[in-house]
A and B are shown apart, each in its own frame.
Chain A
């Protein structure tokens, strides 16, 4: 003990007299480990604390405070009490000591065992004995922190101080200038306001000391280590100013005054602050200032050229209106909302009727902002504005003016979330329902495309609100839409019409079933213009979101496929594919509506399979049906897989059983029009291109997209057959899909011995095939390897490394090297038809990053050891892998790979060049340090590629050159002359898109290092 004591004395001595700061940490460590107690420390400090020298006393207090900062948590209540008494007393001491005292107090206020009453006494002595604003920055921050932590822990006690607390705070914060401290001070002020401290008669004082910073103008110094932004300050000050309605009488005049400012950010800040007031204020606070506020807002919206000011003004108006709408009316007072809106209407309404429509947009936006604030406001505004607009519309004859009016009208028709009628209220537009409909219909009948597009939008908005379209109106609307689909060739119009039909059909399916679908069907199956038929097919798909419509529309599309197959109607290959795409869009609705999936399962899928099978079997003797075409089959795959992915477990199992028995046993019983030969073998490999074996893609669509919980019957036999087909078939389409199907099944199979056995068997077979250099089926084996590797990689199967290592080994293969390199693209990107998340595949997150992390070194090593002519395969593989990584990972990984990527730029393969350039471009925006030494190499390669024969390469390299102009000037200025000269050639490129990039890049490079440029 005695020894400890002397150690402690030594430490104190060295700190106080020896000025060795590090001893404080040693002392704190001693106290934490229990070597000495605080009491012993105070005793040891005795002499220095009572010394007559300020410096020595200061040093003593400093040591004590530093120790307390470290170990305030292990103090007892009694110790805290004594220490507090000491510290409070020290506040009266010499100013040299005050900073250390405050630091000690700050540490003590964090104690959990603060004795009752001590918070009040601490604050009293701080407010009494310290003049905060004459302290240094760090000490001021100490005071604010003391306030904050006491407000957290001793709220009740502080409230007992009453308004004195507020006054003390006001005094200590008055004149603060540092942004870091201001953030703290604003936090205290916010707490005072929001937690209900007594403001007493100091409301105005508190407002004064905070509002003097409004509007905040602060630009952080460059390389600011504190990271405080203007936005932080603005938001925390706004929370203070708008926190209580008692500030209203001071704040609102201030806002009106600041809105006159010339500084745009001040205007925006004022308007946003006003909008924030709307949340806390009531009509009482606002009433007196409404005319002033309104005229300021109006002036800003009418006169500004800045979208920020305009949108801030509109939201402020909206907030004011919704605040007034909340107010409770008493019988004798006037309705402030009505009064305010009358003001708005008076100033804006007449602009809607001016002949030149000059201020129509700003007025309309103001009115819409007011109307959108509440249901009551929208009632008042609509009642005044809509009749006027309708009358205007009918009086005008020019299309452009009518369009403007209709667009304005659209803004009033679409309710906002705030102005939506509650249950039991009817839409504000009910009174104008008739005339609105007739305006919309007359606009739809006009020949102007812009007018038609706007009219469809208004129609959509009307349709979505109950009670605005009567049954007859819906029918009329459907007739108009049908006519437009059939007659209107303009792409914008047909897009808008189709969109509108889609949303109306969801709500009013009957009218579409009876009026639109039959017309479209007739048109599709007639010998009309291909473009019209295409529009009809698209429209059929977009109206089909309800089962009742799907039941009518999907058969129409099936009929297209059927008649294309029989040849009764001449459909081009594109039309057949388009029909498939439309079917897929319909199938996508099965995710939201289970019964649509069921309908596809019961009707559409069997018929599709039946058609495809008929086509495949028949083509042997008669001519080729379009349904044996690979493009059409590939388009059918997503139809089936989208529908199957949405099936519920019961029908999903049935689907699996039916598909497997069809493909394994030739069981055709579930197919309609059962006229198939009895012995069909679909998974036998054939050499011919249009044979039944290519239907394996449909098998994949049926079984690989079902939910993972579904058991596939006879899966082992199926896997064996698929493996055989994919290894032995010589038809590219068939063996690729067999491999994909195999992979899709393997990916979902539960982990266990059975799965491992399958994988090992297939790995062995692939190895044998690949090792046999003379074998004609090496490509097949490679394809199977690629897809199985992907299936295993996605689910992190332990065997995946063995499989991908085989792929890496193939990069140096003389025949398969290039294909293997491209295979990495398949491996790393999402494939659209199988092994993706929408097919319920087992895809682990971040598998790409993991793969990259595990294999990038292998790749670099392989590249370095490869022969010169093989290197390009490695580069290609690398660029595929890197290109598919998320951007953030690319940015961190690229510096290491930079030499390799630069190498890749000089590789002759255009695909490699292109993907490398697209990796590089984002990196060049924030160049890593490693790049700075390589600029010379980079520029010479990029500029050489600017005249590459491939247009995409030229564009990408010019984009990179453009990005480089943003590098720090001293780095790139030496290259300016060279770049400008080299970019002169692409200015005369034959392709416009290249010239566009060249113009942009050269413009920036001209500005570099030139006065007024950058």
Chain B
């Protein structure tokens, strides 16, 4: 995190962005209730979180994919798997934390949020997953103003 002079992955593969979600007639209809679905969560994550290393969104780096987002609106659960760009990425915890914080800020209280690494894509998968699942450690991390600063930077929209 010490503002490394060399990037760990200087030239990542960039993936095409899926277009904006198409507006349907039911979206405009007052009487139809739209459940919170995978795509909605994916949109929240893909648009607003930037990779700490690159000026690119998580979607463009393929860190989050829509198929790895699972929502159950009725049971109020969200599960997100994310894929670090390289297996030794030291930013994995930070990316996971940013995803978690973004979801905490963007979803109603009733949801139980589970963020973990896509199985088999990171060297210290278990350790990171454990940290992310531990409520107290997440809360403590956000008390740390330096860490909060970095997370907030990831969550700042590009236009600002």
Contact = CB atoms under 8 A, between A and B. Distances in A.
A1011 B109 contact: no
B30 A950 contact: yes
Given A996-B40, A999-B44, 6 more contacts: A951-B30, A984-B109, A987-B107, A1002-B105, A1007-B152, A1011-B145
Interface stretch (B48-56, B79-87, B126-134): B48-56
Ranked nearest first, the 6 interchain pairs of A and B with the lowest CB-CB distance are: A1012-B149, A988-B108, A1012-B152, A990-B33, A1011-B149, A992-B34
Given A992-B34, A1006-B105, A1011 B152 contact: yes
B14 interface: yes
Contact of B105 (A305, A990, A1003): A1003
Interface string B57-98: 000000000000000000000000000000000000000000
A1002 B106 contact: yes
Interface string A132-169: 00000000000000000000000000000000000000
B160 interface: yes
B30 A1007 contact: no
Contact of B27 (A993, A1002, A1011, A1013): A993
Contacts of B28: 951, 993
Interface residues of B, number: 34
B121 interface: no
Interface in A935-954: 950-951
B27 A1003 contact: no
Interface in B125-155: 145-146, 148-153, 155
A278 to B, nearest CB: 30
A995 interface: yes
Interface string B13-38: 01000000000000110100110100
Contacts of B2: none
B153 A992 contact: no
B102 A1010 contact: no
B26 to A, nearest CB: 9
Contact of A1012 (B11, B34, B153): B153
A1006 B11 CA distance: 32
A991 B109 contact: no
A303 interface: yes
A85 B14 CA distance: 71
B6 interface: no
23 contacts: A303-B11, A950-B30, A951-B30, A988-B108, A988-B110, A990-B33, A992-B34, A992-B36, A993-B28, A996-B43, A999-B44, A999-B105, A1003-B102, A1003-B105, A1003-B157, A1004-B157, A1006-B105, A1006-B152, A1007-B152, A1011-B148, A1011-B152, A1012-B153, A1014-B160
Interface string B100-126: 001001111110000000000000000
Q: Which of A984, A993, A1013 has the most CB of B within 10 A?
A: A1013
A1002 B106 CA distance: 7
Nearest to A358: B13
B54 to A, nearest CB: 7
Interface in A963-1014: 984, 987-988, 990-993, 995-996, 999-1000, 1002-1004, 1006-1007, 1010-1014
Contacts of B44: 999
Contacts of A1007: 152, 155-156
A225 to B, nearest CB: 26
Interface in A838-864: none
A999 B106 contact: yes
Contacts of B156: 1007, 1012-1014
Interface of B: 11, 14, 27-28, 30, 33-34, 36, 40, 43-44, 48, 54-56, 102, 105-110, 145-146, 148-153, 155-157, 160
A1013 B106 contact: no
A999 B107 CA distance: 8
A1000 B54 CA distance: 22
Nearest to A985: B108
Given A991-B30, A999-B44, A305 B56 contact: yes
Contacts of A1014: 156, 160
Given A992-B27, A1003-B155, A1012 B107 contact: no
A181 B7 CA distance: 40
B102 A305 contact: no
Nearest to B31: A990
A1000 B106 CA distance: 8
Interface residues of A, number: 26
Given A1012-B148, A1013-B152, A991 B34 contact: yes
Contacts of A995: 36, 40
Contacts of A303: 11
A365 B106 CA distance: 40
Contacts of A1010: 148, 152
A898 B152 CA distance: 34
B132 to A, nearest CB: 19
Interface in A628-662: none
A371 B48 CA distance: 38
Q: Which of A305, A992, A999 has the most CB of B within 10 A?
A: A992
A646 B56 CA distance: 51
Contacts of A993: 27-28
Contact of B108 (A984, A1003, A1004): A984
B55 A990 contact: no
B151 A1012 contact: yes
A492 to B, nearest CB: 11
Contacts of A996: 40, 43
A990 B156 CA distance: 26
B27 A1012 contact: no
A821 to B, nearest CB: 23
Contacts of B36: 992, 995
Contacts of A1012: 148-153, 156
Nearest to B148: A1011
Contacts of A992: 27, 34, 36, 40
A305 B11 CA distance: 9
A1004 B160 CA distance: 10
Nearest to A303: B11
A954 B29 CA distance: 14
A992 B37 CA distance: 9
Contacts of A999: 44, 105-106
Contacts of B148: 1010-1012
B2 to A, nearest CB: 16
Contacts of B11: 303
Contacts of A1002: 105-106
A951 to B, nearest CB: 5
A1003 B152 contact: no
Contacts of A1006: 105, 152, 155
Given A999-B44, A1010-B152, A1011-B152, A991 B27 contact: yes
A1004 B151 CA distance: 13
A1003 B101 CA distance: 10
Contacts of B149: 1011-1012
A185 to B, nearest CB: 36
Contacts of B110: 988
Contacts of B105: 999, 1002-1003, 1006
Contacts of B146: 1011
A999 B36 CA distance: 12
A117 B129 CA distance: 85
Contacts of A984: 108-109
A1012 B97 CA distance: 15
Contacts of B153: 1012
A996 B21 CA distance: 12
Contacts of A1004: 157
A546 B139 CA distance: 69
Nearest to B39: A992
B28 to A, nearest CB: 8
A884 B106 CA distance: 35
B34 A990 contact: yes
B89 to A, nearest CB: 18
A35 B155 CA distance: 72
Nearest to B40: A992
